[in-house]
Structure 1
Amino acid sequence: MRLVRFGEAGRERPGLIDVDNVLRDLSGEIDDLAGAHLSRAGLEKIRRLDPKSLPKADPSHRLGPPVTGTTNFLAVGRNYAEHAAETGSDVPTEPLIFNKALSSIVGPHDDVVIPKGSVSTDWEVELAIVIGERAHHVSEAEALDHVAGFCLCNDVSERDWQKNRGGQWVKGKSSPTFGPLGPWLVTPDEIPDLRAVDLWLDVNGERRQTGSTSAMIFGVETLIAYISTFMALQPGDVITTGTPPGVGAGMKPPQFLKAGDRLALGATRLGEQRARVVAYSA
């Protein structure tokens, strides 16, 4: 299934995209894509519905983040060896985990805002995991039982704040609009091989990133099991899993986003994001 949330920011309704790519309104069946609705039982209830019985929704609606009720927005650093190399960093021996602020989450086509004072706002296309059931001390073999699905993420980053403002990456990862998610949440049955998801990102029509999850150092199951050692993951939590090479910081000379730029990114079965880059305004 491809599940979405549509409508104005803060007032989104749940929906799904049917096999004919028609947007259907789920709000008569569930209140939102959150909590128990993300569990295996909750998703099975949605799966049993006849999509044609659901009202059609206007396809011009804004798409919001495809999940809500998120309590942890986590990210994985340097999970592709070539990305670590392009930024002059060591390859981690254990997953490198950091936080992104929940307030950074926006819809897939919302504007990306360059923060006030930013000198190095960068892009990162990534596969993101959405947790469906509480996960604490789970094994790799059990990990996917706790997953609601997957979505596309742009882990937007302010590199100067990330690296030069006291050592906490969260500072460079958390500005409003730095966490576009979607367009849709794809249930695990739609992705036959999590190690064969192709990723790409363009800036102003020029290809910047091309990669595949086959090159991830730590796979999805490993990441869930590892993180669940340190915290209890909750339904709606998001883990974005790292980016392939081609970020602006790795270019020679480095190139960063500026107002007026256009971002396009996508991944196998996860859809595409298209966003405008705008300057901060109070």
Structure 2
Amino acid sequence: MKLASLKEGGRDGTLVVVSRDLTHAVKATGIAPTLQAALDDWSSAAPRLNALSDALNAGSANGAFKLDVAALAAPLPRAYEFVDGSAYLPHVERVRKARGAEVPASFYTDPLMYQATSAGFLGPHDDVVVPSEDFGIDLEAEVVVVTDDVPMSATPAQASEHIQLVGLINDVSLRGLIPGELAKGFGFLQSKPRSALSPVLVTPDELGEVWQGDKLHLPMRTWLNGQWFGEAECGVDMQFSFAELVAHVAKTRPLTAGTLVGSGTIANQDTSKGASCLAEQRTVETLRDGKPSTPFLKFGDTLRIDVTDAAGASIFGAIEQRIVGKA
């Protein structure tokens, strides 16, 4: 099934079930008022939401309406926790090579992760508002999963059972602020503003054979200002599966239902497939030409992030955003 939230009913939106082809929806308020409420009682809510999804896709759901993506908030307008990884080590390897540094051996066995902001997520078509172009505005096209309650010290096999939803995220980064923050030794803060989620989140069973080994096996397609930018393969060169990432987070603490875990920027050893963030593209240029030539995003620039099935149909809906200055 596919789930989304309308921009109504308060900060956490109104839960709707969305048809497989993303054309219609039906409110699910008789089951749960919000997606967070559904996740809090997932074992009870999920079967009922699935039944509503079946009815919607069969054309028999009462109250179904035509879906307007512009009316959607992020599926989870705010969440208790968002932890982001860097599971695609080709990106890490190239970045470190560009500055003459080795990749520590531990990076191949111990995931790179950080605590991200979760107090609010942008809707799939919301503007990205940034105070200054000088901050080095970048997109990061990633896959994200959402869990129900995960017990402390869950193994990867156990963590896999707690991955309930899959989607896309634009993890906005301000590259000009990152070096100074990391130099303090305390991690990201100002350099990581609010991210944007895809229009819908999808249950793993809905993905079928393209969800294997707790990884999404499809290309991540990105466009900047209407021009193709990249289509890196999500299922290739991912050092750690989502089950391993979730287990890593839960090593010393339980995770609350509604926790989001991100993959990090999709990146492959094969750079001919383009990139999923500007920092990656600039690193490739630096290694090839001695300096980067692709600029960071400017006010007025647009971006599009999407994943499509074999027939070319969007699975999660596209993230389409414009970069704007703070009024």
Please, what TM-score do these two structures have when normalized by structure 1? 0.89
Quick one: structure 1 residues 213 and 131, their matched pair in 2 at CA, closer, same or farther if it must change by over 3 Å?
Answer: same
- Note the C-alpha offset of 1:82: 2.4
Aligned to 1:119: 135
**Structure 2: 5+ residue stretches without partners:** 98-102, 268-274, 283-291, 309-314
Aligned to 2:300: 260
C-alpha separation between the residues in 1 aligned to 2:218 and 2:256? 25
Quick one: structure 1 residues 10 and 100, their matched pair in 2 at CA, closer, same or farther if it must change by over 3 Å?
Answer: same
Q: Helix, strand or coil: the match of 2:318?
A: strand
- Note the C-alpha offset of 1:191: 2.1
Aligned to 2:71: 62
C-alpha separation between the residues in 2 aligned to 1:280 and 1:120? 15
Aligned to 2:189: 171
Q: Does 1:219 align with 2:235?
A: no
C-alpha separation between the residues in 2 aligned to 1:168 and 1:118? 22
C-alpha separation between the residues in 2 aligned to 1:35 and 1:232? 18
Please, what TM-score do these two structures have when normalized by structure 2? 0.78
Following TM superposition, the consecutive aligned residue runs of length 4 or more in structure 1 with deviations greater than 6 angstroms are none
Aligned to 2:50: 47
C-alpha separation between the residues in 2 aligned to 1:72 and 1:180? 15
Choose between structure 1 and 2: higher helix proportion: 2
Aligned to 2:221: 200
- Note the C-alpha offset of 1:160: 2.1
Q: Helix, strand or coil: the match of 1:65?
A: coil
What are the equivalent positions in structure 2 for 1:135-154 lying under 5 Å apart?
135-154=151-170
Aligned to 1:272: 318
Aligned residue identity for 1:256: F
Aligned to 2:279: 249
**Structure 1: 5+ residue stretches without partners:** none
Aligned-residue Cα RMSD (Å) equals 2.2
Q: Is the 8 A contact 1:69 1:235 kept in 2?
A: no
Equivalenced residues, count: 278
Q: Is the 8 A contact 2:77 2:120 kept in 1?
A: no
Aligned residue identity for 1:226: H
What are the equivalent positions in structure 2 for 1:24-39 lying under 5 Å apart?
24-37=26-39, 39=42
The structure whose Rg is larger is: 2
Q: Does 1:80 align with 2:80?
A: no
Aligned to 1:10: 11
